[in-house]
Amino acid sequence: MMRASEKLRAKGSVCKKIRVSIRTGMFNPEEAKFANGVEVDLPYPTDDVRLLTKAAVDALERMYRPGFKYSKAEVMLLNLCQPGEYTNDLFAVSQPSEATKVMAVLDKINGRWGRRTLRAASVPGSPDWAMRREMMSQSFTTRIDQLWTVQCR
């Protein structure tokens, strides 16, 4: 959620809704299968990582079932717009200016000292898990150093 909110702020956008999904692996026939997703309407369009993280964790707690080996979790930001552009009704609440200032300071510190210098307390500094990259496909369409070469004889 931290990275998603950083991207929102970099584009000058906010979101009004998020979707959180989890699922087990699909390829092991011996493992039980489970997949679920929840959409959460936020109280106002926001780019505040604190509100987005709380909403995502609450959604995860509603759909999580113990006993499964989960292999994937995803977060989608929905109803993207520019600040002040979304109007639910005349009396709709908007993001507090203090939140905007806090997010600007957060981005400035992380920009200067490196991503994840400041983060939500619920996010570990060095998690026990990591993305498996040993089976990742090559990026030969976007990276010149991974272009295929053909040898003619």
Give a yes or no: residue 151 inside a domain: no
Is residue 153 included in any domain, yes or no?
Answer: no
φ and ψ at residue 98, rounded to 5 degrees: -65, -40
Task: Please indicate, yes or no, if residue 152 is contained in any of the structural domains.
Answer: no
Please report whether residue 131 resides in a domain.
yes
Q: How far, in Å, CA of 77 to CA of 53, rounded?
A: 12
List the pLDDT tens digit at each of the 153 positions of the chain.
Answer: 888 999 999 999 999 999 999 999 888 888 889 999 999 999 989 999 999 999 999 999 999 999 999 989 999 999 998 887 766 666 767 777 888 888 888 888 888 888 777 777 666 666 676 666 777 777 767 778 877 778 888
Task: Give pLDDT, residue 131.
Answer: 67
The predicted pLDDT at position 141 comes to 74
Domains: count for the chain: 1
Residue 65 lies in a domain: yes
Asked whether residue 104 is domain-assigned, the answer is yes
In a domain, 19, yes or no: yes
Q: What is the pLDDT of residue 146?
A: 78
16-46 in b/e form (b: 16+ CB < 10 A) is bebebbbbbeeeeeeeeeeeeebebebebbb
Residue 39 lies in a domain: yes
How many residues does the structure list for the chain? 153
Q: Residue 133's domain spans which residues?
A: 2-146
CATH for 76: 3.30.1490.100
pLDDT of residue 48: 92
